[in-house]
Amino acid sequence: MTTRYRVARLGAQGDGIADTERGPVFISFTLPGEMVTAAVNKDRGELIAVTEPASNRVEPPCRHFGTCGGCQLQHLAMADYLAWKRDKVVQALKSQALKPAVGQIVPCAPHSRRRVTFALRKVEGGMLLGYNRHLSHEIVDIAECPISVPPIVEALDSLRALARLSCFTSKAFRMTVTATASGLDVALLDSGVLDDAARKAIADFAMAANLARVSVDGEIIVEPKKPQVSMGPAVVNIPPGGFLQAVASAEEAMGQLVLDHLGKAKRVADLFAGSGAFTFRLAQRAEVHAVEGEAAALAALDRAFRFTPSLKRVSTEKRDLFERPLTTKELDRFDAVVFDPPRAGAEFQCRQLAKSGVSKVAAVSCNPLTLARDLATLVAGGYTVTSVTPIDQFLWSSHVEAVALLEKPRKRR
């Protein structure tokens, strides 16, 4: 049934929320203050028309906005969009009774995302490549993407052709594309089992298209050039499909915040270190112990360290910090700690850290709610949150990164 609604506010996922007698109705691509018509099923509304637009509604820069689910907020004026994202961090902190100083959000420019994951499916007459429609498994085929760096957008047709050569499944599969200094690194997942003819076809195609590497389910099919990414002073040969901060300028901003805070620390633990985004910046000043659960990422970090001159000592440890966090005794060997966990946060590690004597901590997170929970644990253990800086690494989405800086008086020995 189509009904008129007045949108009251934005929800955590970027949907407009209209309050009704039956409860809230969530309507995508709407803004507070707008009068809209929508077809409603339970608590979800599909937008039909905006009859009274908000003054801060703007023209979306992408033709696919509203069908493609990659972005939620291209229709909101940039100043209000950034304020909304900053407030997400503020509200998450308040939910844990934390009220530290929250800085202005560090913005993200269009065409700056160097790592994107596409959804794909083989259909009659071709290959769909794009993103899932909002709240759906339907794939929206794209011809442009204003969040991605130009080399990825310019290669969309080539990536479709590569997907056709690699596809041996009727189901949807994924393709992660990373723009590196050596060219595009393409990692396919769940595209099916390759035969020898397909492997040769993929290799020939990659060479002709000047791709740096193609891997399928973690197996390197062809690697004409090692995919290289700069992390501070180091050049890292990243592993296939490995984690990488999505936007280089966001990584640089986060790295500088961490580096400035940890200052003159002589021994630093970098937890959930990945391939070294923080390790190498810190190792210009301090000895760093990098702890990471993924063997391939840790191997890439270690190799880059050995080929980067003028760094302090870097040691590595493969360890699942969810199952076996560093103990308080182990942590007390360090002057400072930085941790950057997945969205689930670092609950068990923070319980150990809260009891430690580490004087400075930098917490990096892509989930304000788990960040707030972890900060509350550290505050209960005697830490003070000196600042929190939101980082808009995920442009026009509902996701926001943040860097929290903490201090604790060092115990006298």
d(CA 271, CA 283): 14
Fold of the domain built from segment(s) 82-108+247-407:
Rossmann fold (3.40.50)
Per-residue pLDDT of 250-276, as tens digits, reads: 999 999 999 999 989 999 999 999 999
Q: What is the pLDDT of residue 125?
A: 85
Annotated binding site: 245, 272, 292, 340
**Helical axes 347-354 vs 368-380, angle rounded to 10°:** 20
Q: What is the mean pLDDT of the chain?
A: 96
Closest CA to 383 of 353, 412, 344: 353
Q: Which residue numbers belong to the known binding site for S-adenosyl-L-methionine?
A: 245, 272, 292, 340
| Count of other CB atoms within 10 angstroms of residue 210 | 13
pLDDT-based confidence at 2, cuts 50/70/90? confident
pLDDT of residue 297: 97
Report the amino acid identity of residue 112.
S
- CATH number, domain 2-57, options 3.40.50.300, 3.30.1490.110, 2.40.50.140, 3.40.250.10: 2.40.50.140
Catalytic residues: 366
pLDDT band at 410 (very low <50, low <70, confident <90, very high): confident
Scan for tokens 């505050």, then name that residue: 379
Average pLDDT over residues 392-410: 96
pLDDT over 90 for what percent of the chain? 96
pLDDT recorded at residue 153: 98
Question: How many other C-beta atoms are found inside a 10 Å radius of the C-beta of residue 241?
Answer: 21
Q: What local confidence, expressed as pLDDT, does residue 411 receive?
A: 66
Q: Quick one: tokens of 161?
A: 């052709």
Residue ranges of the domains in the chain? 2-57, 82-108+247-407, 115-228
Fill in the amino acid letter for 103: G
Q: Is 396 exposed, middle or buried (0-12, 13-18, 19+ CB in 10 A)?
A: buried
Threshold 0.85, pTM exceeds: yes
Give alpha helix (H) positions in 95-174. Answer: 150-154, 156-166
Lowest model confidence (mean pLDDT) among 239-243, 331-335, 385-389: 239-243
Does the domain made of 115-228 have the CATH classification 2.40.50.1070? Answer: yes
Q: Is the fold of 2-57 the same as that of 115-228? A: yes
Which pLDDT belongs to residue 412? 53
Can you give the length of the chain in residues? Answer: 413
**Mean predicted confidence (pLDDT) in 152-179:** 98
| 194 or 242: which leads in pLDDT | 194
- Helix, coil or strand: residue 377: helix
> What is the arithmetic mean of pLDDT over 80-97?
98
What is the separation of C-alpha 303 from the centre of its chain, rounded to a whole number of angstroms? 24
Per-residue confidence band for 103, with pLDDT thresholds at 50, 70 and 90: very high
